[in-house]
Amino acid sequence: MSTDFNININSEIGKLKGVILHTPGKEVKNMIPENASRALYSDILNIEIVNKEYSQFKGVLDKVTKTFEVKDLFADVIADANIKSSIISEILKNENTFDEDQYILSLSDKELTNQLFEGVLMNKNTVSKFLNKDRYSLKPLYNFFFTRDASISFGNKVIIGKMASPIRDRESLIMDYIFRNHNIFKANTINPNLKIENADLKIEGGDILIAREDILLVGMGARTNSDAIDFLISNIKQDRKTKFHILVQELPTSPESFIHLDMVFTLIDRDRCMVYSPLILKSGTYKTIHIELDEGKTKSITEENNLIEALQKLGMELKPIMCGGNADKWSQDREQWHSGANFFAFEPGKIIGYGRNINTINALNDDGFSVLKSEDVISGKVKIDDYKKCVVTIDGSELARGGGGARCMTMPIYRESVIW
C-alpha cells in the first residue's frame, strides 16, 4: 500500500470512505472458560459461527467503503527491521517477558504478526514456567476485533486508547505503531500512554462520539474516567479557539453491557439517534454534564437534564428511537444487553447492526428505515443506493456475546462532511 489516506472524522454519520477492521482469528478460539473473565468475556465464543457472522459484517462494509485489516497494516509496518525491533522491545518490557526475545525475534514477519495477535506459547523450560498455569507468555488479543477502543479518530488526529484493562494494552501499542509508521496514513497521534502524569487516565473509543464538528460526546464510566475528559479538554483547547462543546454522560459501572456510551446511545442520521431510554432519557442518578470551551478556555461547566435535551440546545434536533422498542423495559433490557443500541452508520440514515434485536429493528422499520439482509446486499440482490434510509442486519448469535456491536467493531478513518 502506498496511497496516502488522510484522517478525517468530524461526525458519526458522514459517508464512510475508510475503516479499519480486525477479522476475529485463532485468538478467539484460544479462549477457555478459565480465562474468559480475565479476557473480559462472560462466555467463550464459537469461532466458526463468529467467522460466519463477521463475514456478513465485513462483506457489507466492503460494498460501501474501503476496508483495512489491522493484521495487514501491522505486517507492512514491521517489514522495517528497526520498527520491528522497537515494538518487540516495548511489548516484552510492558508484559515482562524478556526471556522470550530470542524466540520472538527469530520469527518471520508473518508468523510474528500471527503470534502477537493469537498468543505466544510459553516455553516450559524452567520449573517456574512448568508450574505456571498460563499457556501463553504473551496472551492472545481476545478483544481486538472491537477495533473501536484502542484508537480514536478525532478530526485529523488519532487519539491512542489508554485501556482500562492491561490485557488490552498491546492493542493500543500496535495501533500507535501503525498510525505513526504506516506510509498510507497521514496522522498526528495523541498518546496519553507516553506521559507519566496520565497514569490514572483511562480512555476507550466506545466512549467517544463525534456528534458534530463542534460537539464531542463522552461516556464516563468503567472504561473512561474524568482524568480522560480533562485530557481531552486540554488537547481541544490547544487546537480549537472557537466555541466547542463536550457533553459528558455518566454511565453505570455495572452490568458489563454499559461499558461504553455507544452501548446506550448511537447517532444514526442527521435527526435520529438510537437510545437505551431508561438511562439516556431519564434524568436522575447518572449526570449529563455540558462543558463549553471558547477562545482556548473553559467558559462553563453545567449539568443538563439529559443528552437529548443538551443536544437540542446546541441545535441538534434528534428523534430518539428506542432500543428494544417502546413496549416494555424487559425488552429494552434484553436487547440492550446484546448491543441493541450499538449501530454503525456508513452514511446518513444508512446503518448496520444485529438482526437478533427484533424489537429494535421493528422500531427502526416503523420510523422509515428499510430492513435489508446482509446476504442480499453482499450478493447484489438489493442495492443500498436505492434506499434513502435503511438498516442492514447481520446475524449476531455469537458476535453479540463478545460484548459489542457493529460500532464497536469499526475504527473509521475518513468520512465525508455532513450537510446538516
What positions carry a catalytic annotation?
408
**Cβ(159)–Cβ(194) below 8 Å:** no
Residue linked to cell 457533553: 247
Burial of 198 (0-12, 13-18, 19+ CB in 10 A): middle
**Cβ(22)–Cβ(144) below 8 Å:** yes
**C-alpha cell belonging to residue 118:** 493469537
Label residue 111 left, alpha or beta by phi (over 0 means left) and psi (-120 to 50 means alpha). alpha
Residue linked to cell 488537547: 235
Residue 374, phi then psi, degrees to nearest 5: -60, -40
Return the closest-CA partner of residue 405 out of 293, 240, 276. Answer: 276
Return the closest-CA partner of residue 167 out of 42, 35, 14, 299. Answer: 35
Question: How would you classify the pairing of strands 344-347 and 350-354?
Answer: antiparallel
The reply to whether omega before 252 is within 30° of 0 (cis) is no
**Cβ(117)–Cβ(27) below 8 Å:** yes
